[in-house]
Amino acid sequence: MSELTPLREALLRLLADGQFHSGEQLGERLSVSRAAVGKHVQALKALGLEVYSVSGKGYRLAVPLQLLDQTRLSEALAPKRAELVPVIGSTNQHWLDSLSRLEKGDICVSECQTAGRGRRGRQWISPFGGQLIMSMYWRLEQGMAAAMGLSLVVGIAVVEALEAQGFAGVKLKWPNDLYLNGRKLAGILVEMSGTAGGPCQLVIGMGLNLLLPQTEQERIDQPWAELAELGNIEDRNGLVIAVASHLQRSLVLFERQGIAAFREQWNRLDYFNGKTVRVLMGEQEIHGIARGIDAQGALLLELESGETKHFLGGEISLRGEGQL
């Protein structure tokens, strides 16, 4: 995976309008040769960007790109920290390595992750500029037990932030996915550290598909969706600000009242509520009808016998009937 050097970032800013720019013009603006421009364009492609090259016209991005703006994010989210690292291994890992200098609500955002990870260590594909990639730090003085159901609250906050930005129709899948028309739109990964009896430090990561390049779409091995299906994404920075702000407010409420305060919202947004599903626990598979969550955030599953079973997180997976 390539790095985003200052020269490549300058090249990207010139191409961000989505128009054709000749190699000669780009070389003049950047004070490099046309051959060097071509090499740097290849490096941008390695970041997951789709760049067209047409003889006689030059280079252009497949779609215009609005880059994240450190100054705007910092001003809008102050006094919380907003740190932008355009290309990073993992925003979650970066924040986990930075715990000693963080305050509740601080965020790290990136245009591209080279070592993004999902639940159970799965690889997370994150092409440059194609997603909203964010990690937030939080601290629960009550300890790890108080974090029960937190990933559900994160999902609710993100969906409500999207609704406020005009993107309606996103649903939730227990315990940590956002769904659009039955396909995965975003994943949430909560990582925590702490000691028995002490406070719990949390890093809350999210990857939300905005508009994925064709070349990157082929690398995803599950049904996926992108926010662009619901309308034009005109302000990526505004989207980051809205998500971070909603999440901060929701976590404050969660600290005070726990997951029970969010149960009604979850059940309204639950994609599988009332649907026949399978719960996978290792080699065991349990069929039933999803009935939302209880006051502790556990999944409720109505069995054929009429009994309702409660499932908490861990190594449990939820699948719709017919899903692999």
The verdict on 92 and 170 lying in the same domain is yes
Number of separate domains in the chain? 3
Q: Is 275 flagged in the annotation as binding?
A: no
Q: Catalytic: 139?
A: no
- Residue 51 shares a structural domain with residue 92: no
Same domain, 189 and 295: no
Assess whether 45 carries a catalytic annotation: no
Say whether 91 counts as a known binding-site residue.
yes
Query: Domain range spanning residue 288?
Result: 272-320
Active-site residue, selected from the candidate residues 81, 104, 119, 278: 119
Q: What is the CATH number of the domain that holds 306?
A: 2.30.30.100
Q: Which of residues 195 and 103 earns the better pLDDT score?
A: 103
Residue 90 known to bind ligand: yes
**pLDDT category, 314, cuts 50, 70, 90?**
low
Q: Give pLDDT, residue 150.
A: 94
Whether 1 is covered by a domain: the verdict is no
Number of Cβ within 10 Å of residue 30's Cβ equals 16
* pLDDT score, position 2: 64
Co-location of 82 and 26 in the same domain:
no
Residue 216 banded pLDDT, cuts 50, 70, 90: low
Instruction: Judge whether residue 322 has pLDDT over 70.
Output: no
Mean pLDDT of 22-35: 95
Residue in this structure with the two tokens 């050097």, named with its chain if needed: 5
Q: What is the pTM of this model?
A: 0.90
Same domain, 201 and 175: yes
113 in a labelled binding site: yes
What is the tens place of the pLDDT at every residue in 131-188? Answer: 999 999 999 998 888 898 999 999 999 999 999 999 999 999 998 899 999 999 999 9
pLDDT for the residue numbered 319? 74
- CATH no. for residue 19? 1.10.10.10
Over residues 10-18, mean pLDDT:
94
Let me know whether 174 and 225 are in one domain. yes
**pLDDT: is 212 or 141 the higher one?**
141
In the block, tokens 């629960």 appear at: 140
Q: Among this protein's residues, is 119 annotated catalytic?
A: yes
Among residues 184, 249, 278, 309, the one annotated as catalytic is: 184
Residue 198: predicted pLDDT:
85
257 and 304 share a domain?
Answer: no
Same domain for 186 and 91: yes
C-beta separation of 264 from 295 below 8 A:
no
CA pair distance 135, 175, nearest whole angstrom: 18
What's the CATH number where 227 sits? 3.30.930.10
Q: 55 and 149: one domain?
A: no
Parallel/antiparallel/unpaired status of strands 107-110 and 82-84: parallel
* Catalytic residue selected from 81, 249, 278, 319: 319
Q: Which two tokens stand for residue 2?
A: 């390539």
